[in-house]
């Protein structure tokens, strides 16, 4: 239940509370009882009528950023109306609320800042984090999304502007997963910024110092985690857009201590595995048949490989055999075991340099790797725009009947390829999912949507699942279960195998319940949630999923 009590709030204060405000939907009796007479226009509207009017206003803005600002203002004014609008037009508004428009909103955060939302925790206040957590606007919290703003999408260090990401993510936890908006909490850990443009910007709203690093940074993260443990035990904590140097160590340090996961590492991985699962079924192949080339070797790319590797082991391969299905290429070429710059997580996938001598030359690049390996799957998480060239794609397609190509970098300007080009270069044979939204493809005289491998397929369902089943941890098997359920939902939806490897976005609220069920069942099987039958879990998920509607 929401912590707000409408009986205790009246008049203008009631209209100023976005969780209680109904605007023109207050009835005449409510207006008289709650001291609202004269504060609203005389007309009384239903939520549906308000939503129609809000949608027309939304369409009145021609620029995506202006539409984003309008939706944020609506969210700050009337949350039920905001979510009513968003859930009705989810597919259309998702790119405005989140990627790619949220990237521009983060970049211009200080410029477009209007009203406070969430908590800003500075490095200097690290000894007071628990006290500051008590200043949150609500009571109990089901989900926290936290970032330090260092690696926002493909835009890099945005400092305090990174707050746009937790706000956007949590709006989707609610719109799709059904987490009550009063029980969500966006948090920005402000440790400074190394973005010189921001430091020189007179309007920048964040901490005007370079980033805290090393032991001091680790101390701050520990202070934050300890405060969450003490003040909000059992709350799902999602780490978002942390730099590669921090993302994996933080996850490794705390995943067995908290109910926590990293969406860039595990969420991206789950949706990629979901798309690959569907593509494998469309191609009539087995997951274990694939040879997978990955461009990019950051935390997200390694996370994708780790999750696919887990699924391959579940299919019967050994850990070594599963790792042997991958070839990683970064800015310095193929990952090989003689390189001294690899992290332990990267080294799992490093190839034996002795086995590559017949290739000739040093540090094979992507084109050479594709030519030698003849992959069935090509995944991009490099932020290198246009890296999947026509030559590389045609080479891949020459040796593979249904190549699976996933240019997953976002925003759109960082995508490794345009899906329209991929379809043309492979004569329509490629099975495609992109990380950002792209226009539909022309297939046999009709328009077919391009599957967007957006983490929105996974994280809202995970939030719904752990809330409903009262999970204590997020395990790898829970995330793999989410990925497989995403693929199952796509197949059941009858999506077009040419491109649509993921469920339709418009029906994601329904799909989230099925994905949440798979996650909850895996939590029970892993012993990190109380025993419950499938029927009991379905009932708990249905009860936990909030729907935007006004209450009397």
- For 115-151, the pLDDT digits (tens) are 999 999 999 999 999 999 999 988 899 999 999 999 9
Residue owning tokens 């461009």: 295
The strand pair at 326-330 and 292-295 is best described as parallel
3-state secondary structure 230-261: HHCCCCEEEECCCCHHHHHHHHHHHCCCCCEE
Which residues are annotated binding-site positions for a divalent metal cation?
Answer: 240-241, 264
In whole angstroms, how far apart are CA 435 and each of 42, 450, 451?
46, 10, 9
Structure tokens at 369: 């790797």
Q: Which tens digit of pLDDT belongs to each residue from 467-525?
A: 999 999 999 999 999 999 999 998 887 654 444 789 988 889 999 999 999 999 999 99
Q: What is the CA radius of gyration of the chain?
A: 24
In whole angstroms, how far apart are CA 64 and each of 90, 168, 170, 404?
15, 14, 20, 31
CATH architecture of 101-258: 3-Layer(aba) Sandwich (3.40)
* pLDDT score recorded for residue 92: 94
CATH topology match: 6-97 vs 101-258: no
Q: Is 360 helix (H, G, I), strand (E, B) or coil?
A: coil
Better-scored residue on pLDDT, 297 or 447: 297
Portion of the chain with pLDDT greater than 90, in percent? 84
* pLDDT score recorded for residue 6: 53
Using 50, 70 and 90 to split pLDDT, how confident is the model at 5? low
pLDDT at 464 over 50: yes
For residues 119 and 208, the answer to whether their CB atoms sit within 8 Å is no
Q: Is the Cα dihedral 416, 420, 423, 426 positive or negative?
A: negative
DSSP, residue by residue, 107-135 = HTHHHH--S--SEEEEGGGGGGHHHHHTT
Rounded distance between C-alpha atoms, residue 236 and residue 289, angstroms = 36
Local structure of residue 287 (DSSP, 8 states): G
Q: Which tens digit of pLDDT belongs to each residue from 55-67?
A: 999 999 999 999 9
In whole angstroms, how far apart are CA 424 and each of 367, 394, 404?
19, 10, 14
Rounded distance between C-alpha atoms, residue 51 and residue 82, angstroms = 8
Overall pTM > 0.85 = yes
Which of 39-53, 211-225, 272-286, 382-396 is predicted with the least confidence, judged by mean pLDDT? 272-286
CA–chain centroid gap for 482, Å, is 13
Rounded distance between C-alpha atoms, residue 46 and residue 25, angstroms = 6
Type and span of the H or E element at 31: helix 28-33
pLDDT at 3 over 50: no
Rounded distance between C-alpha atoms, residue 193 and residue 207, angstroms = 7
Mean pLDDT computed over every residue of the chain: 94
Better-scored residue on pLDDT, 191 or 6: 191
Cβ neighbourhood burial of 165 (10 Å; 0-12, 13-18, 19+)? buried
* pLDDT score recorded for residue 361: 67
User: Which of 261, 214, 225 lies closest to 466, judged by CA?
Assistant: 261
Which residues are annotated binding-site positions?
Answer: 151, 240-241, 264, 410, 454
Q: What residues are labeled active site?
A: 98, 169
Q: Which tens digit of pLDDT belongs to each residue from 213-249?
A: 999 999 999 999 999 999 999 999 999 999 989 999 9
For residues 174 and 547, the answer to whether their CB atoms sit within 8 Å is no
* pLDDT score recorded for residue 2: 41
Contacts of 103 (CB under 8 A, 6+ apart): 152, 153, 154, 155, 410, 411
Which residues are annotated binding-site positions for (S)-malate?
Answer: 151, 410, 454
Rounded distance between C-alpha atoms, residue 238 and residue 460, angstroms = 11
The strand pair at 431-434 and 451-452 is best described as parallel
User: Which of 179, 272, 257, 182 lies closest to 224, judged by CA?
Assistant: 257
Rounded distance between C-alpha atoms, residue 6 and residue 36, angstroms = 13
Cβ neighbourhood burial of 428 (10 Å; 0-12, 13-18, 19+)? middle
Torsion of CA 370, 375, 376, 380, to 10 degrees: -60
* pLDDT score recorded for residue 27: 97
Overall CATH class of domain 6-97: mainly alpha
User: Which of 305, 307, 308, 311 lies closest to 328, judged by CA?
Assistant: 305
Cis-peptide, bond into residue 414, ω within 30° of zero: no
For residues 260 and 237, the answer to whether their CB atoms sit within 8 Å is yes
Local structure of residue 6 (DSSP, 8 states): G
Q: Where are the domains of the chain?
A: 6-97, 101-258, 266-453, 456-544
* pLDDT score recorded for residue 328: 97
In whole angstroms, how far apart are CA 530 and each of 253, 308, 379, 480?
25, 28, 37, 20
Rounded distance between C-alpha atoms, residue 282 and residue 412, angstroms = 26
pLDDT at 78 over 80: yes
CATH of domain 266-453: 3.40.50.720
Residue owning tokens 């030559």: 391
Rounded distance between C-alpha atoms, residue 456 and residue 451, angstroms = 12
């Amino acid at each position: 239940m929401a912590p707000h009590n409408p009986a205790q709030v009246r008049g203008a204060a009631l209209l100023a509370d976005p969780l209680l405000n109904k605007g023109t939907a207050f009835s005449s009796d409510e207006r008289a009882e709650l001291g609202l007479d004269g504060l609203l226009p005389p007309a009384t509207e239903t939520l549906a009528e308000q939503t129609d009017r809000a949608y027309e206003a939304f369409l009145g803005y021609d620029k995506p950023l202006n539409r984003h600002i309008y939706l944020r203002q609506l969210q700050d004014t009337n949350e039920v109306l905001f979510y009513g609008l968003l859930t009705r037009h989810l597919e259309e508004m998702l790119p405005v609320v989140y990627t790619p428009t949220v990237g521009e909103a983060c970049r211009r955060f200080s410029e477009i800042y209007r009203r406070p939302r969430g908590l800003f925790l500075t490095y200097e206040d690290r000894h007071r984090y628990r006290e500051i957590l008590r200043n949150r606007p609500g009571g109990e919290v089901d989900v926290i999304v936290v970032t330090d703003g260092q690696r926002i999408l493909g835009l890099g260090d945005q400092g305090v502007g990174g707050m746009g990401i937790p706000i956007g993510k949590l709006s989707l936890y609610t719109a799709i997963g059904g987490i009550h908006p009063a029980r969500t909490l966006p948090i920005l850990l402000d440790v400074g910024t190394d973005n010189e443009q921001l430091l020189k910007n007179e309007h920048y709203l964040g901490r005007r110092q370079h980033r805290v690093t090393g032991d001091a940074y680790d101390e701050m993260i520990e202070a934050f985690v300890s405060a969450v443990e003490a003040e909000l035990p059992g709350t799902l904590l999602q780490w978002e857009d942390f730099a590669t140097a921090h993302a994996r160590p933080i996850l490794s340090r705390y995943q067995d201590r908290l109910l926590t996961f990293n969406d860039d590492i595990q969420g991206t991985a789950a949706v990629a595995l979901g798309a690959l699962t569907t593509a494998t079924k469309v191609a009539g192949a087995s997951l274990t048949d694939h040879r997978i080339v990955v461009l990019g070797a950051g935390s997200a790319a390694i996370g994708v490989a780790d999750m696919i590797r887990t699924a391959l082991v579940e299919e019967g391969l050994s850990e070594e055999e599963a790792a042997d299905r991958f070839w990683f290429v970064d800015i310095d070429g193929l990952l090989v075991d003689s390189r001294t710059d690899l992290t332990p997580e990267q080294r799992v996938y490093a190839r034996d340099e002795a086995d590559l001598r017949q290739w000739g030359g040093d540090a094979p690049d992507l084109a050479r790797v594709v030519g030698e390996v003849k992959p069935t799957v090509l995944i991009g998480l490099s932020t290198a725009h246009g890296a999947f060239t026509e030559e590389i794609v045609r080479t891949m397609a020459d040796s593979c009947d249904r190549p699976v190509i996933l240019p997953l970098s976002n925003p759109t300007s960082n995508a490794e390829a345009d899906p329209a080009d991929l379809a043309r270069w492979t004569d329509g044979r490629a099975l495609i999912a992109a990380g950002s939204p792209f226009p539909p493809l022309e297939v046999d005289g009709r328009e077919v949507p391009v599957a967007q491998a957006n983490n929105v397929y996974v994280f809202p369902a995970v939030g719904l699942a752990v809330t409903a089943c009262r999970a204590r941890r997020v395990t790898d098997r829970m995330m793999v279960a989410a990925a497989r359920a995403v693929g199952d939902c796509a197949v059941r939806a009858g999506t077009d195998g040419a491109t649509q490897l993921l469920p339709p976005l418009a029906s994601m609220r329904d799909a989230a319940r099925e994905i949440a069920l798979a996650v909850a069942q895996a939590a029970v099987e892993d012993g990190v949630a109380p025993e419950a039958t499938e029927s009991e879990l379905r009932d708990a998920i249905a009860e936990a999923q909030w729907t935007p509607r006004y209450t009397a």
